[in-house]
Amino acid sequence: MGSKKLGMWLFIISDALTFSALLLAYNYLRFADPQWPTPFPFHPAILFSTTMTVVLLFSSLTMVMGVAAAARGDRAKTVWWILATMAGGLGFILLHLREWIHLIEEGVRPFQNPWGSPVFGAIFFGITGLHMTHVAIGVIYLGIISLGFGRGKFSAEDVEVSGLYWHFVDLVWMFVFPLVYLMSVKY
């Protein structure tokens, strides 16, 4: 195994621990406080966040296709698959920002909200914001990789390593979506 790939795996493990600690803390607060807000009605909030999840999952599928194309040495297809992945990432960010704006308009602030436990906003914006930052960095990272791979400056291993990062971002969302959104549905 190459040093780049091993380095990325070690980074992923350390970052996974950061998100694990945050999600653990979130769930502790969620269950410890009977006044915990449930600001997500099934329609439209949960359906909206489900769409975000499917968009992110779809971008993982295009990324894995890009990695496969890179392993075959097909530069043109690799670049197109990575561009499709970036489009998915950008779509996710835009949907997420729209949701944030909606919550802010409803009065959610880091230490204040109209429904209950004041710390909800801090941990919600903290976790989803950290994840969104990872997605944004991933989009930039993929842009650099696609440009470099298209010009022959990067190898298939570089594409594979960027793919590891992207799938990790997707993997984290697989925990954030159920634990943060589905556990706070407003009935």
Partner 1 sequence: MSTHAMESHATPRAITFLWVWIWLVAITGGEVFLAYKQVPLNIMLVILIGLSVIKAALIMAYFMHLKFEKFTLVLWLVPALVFCICMILIFFFPDSTRLLHLRPH
Binding site for partner 1 (CB under 8 A): 1-2, 4-5, 9, 13, 16-17, 20-21, 24-25, 27-28, 31-32, 42, 46, 50, 53-54, 57-58, 60-61, 63-65, 67-68, 70-71, 73, 155-157, 160, 163-164, 167-168, 170-171, 174-175, 177-179, 182-183, 185, 187
Q: Which is nearer to partner 1, 92 or 168 (CB)?
A: 168
Q: How far apart are the first and last CA of the chain?
A: 50
Shortest distance, position 70 Cβ to partner 1, whole Å: 8
Looking at the Cβ atoms of 107 and 142, the one nearer to partner 1 is 142
By beta-carbon proximity to partner 1, the closer residue of 63 and 108 is 63
Task: Give least dist CB 167 to partner 1, A.
Answer: 5
Fill in the DSSP letter of residue 178.
I
- Quick one: 43 or 105, whose CB is closer to partner 1? 43
185's enclosing H/E stretch is: strand 185-186
What is the sign of the dihedral through the CA atoms of 114, 117, 118 and 123? negative
Q: Is the Cβ of residue 18 or residue 107 nearer to partner 1 in the bound state?
A: 18
* 73 Rama sector, left if φ>0, alpha if ψ -120 to 50, beta otherwise: left
Nearer to partner 1, 13 or 104 (CB): 13
Taking the C-alpha atoms of residue 126 and residue 155, their distance in angstroms, rounded to an integer, is 35
Residue corresponding to tokens 């590891």 = 164
Nearest distance in Å: CB 75, partner 1: 11
CB of 130 to partner 1, least distance (A): 16
Q: Shortest approach of partner 1 to residue 24 CB, angstroms?
A: 6
Phi, psi dihedrals of residue 152, rounded to the nearest 5°: 80, 15
The strand pair at 40-41 and 185-186 is best described as parallel
DSSP assignment of 2-42 equals -HHHHHHHHHHHHHHHHHHHHHHHHHHHHHH-TT----EEI
Min dist. Cβ of residue 43 to partner 1 (A): 10
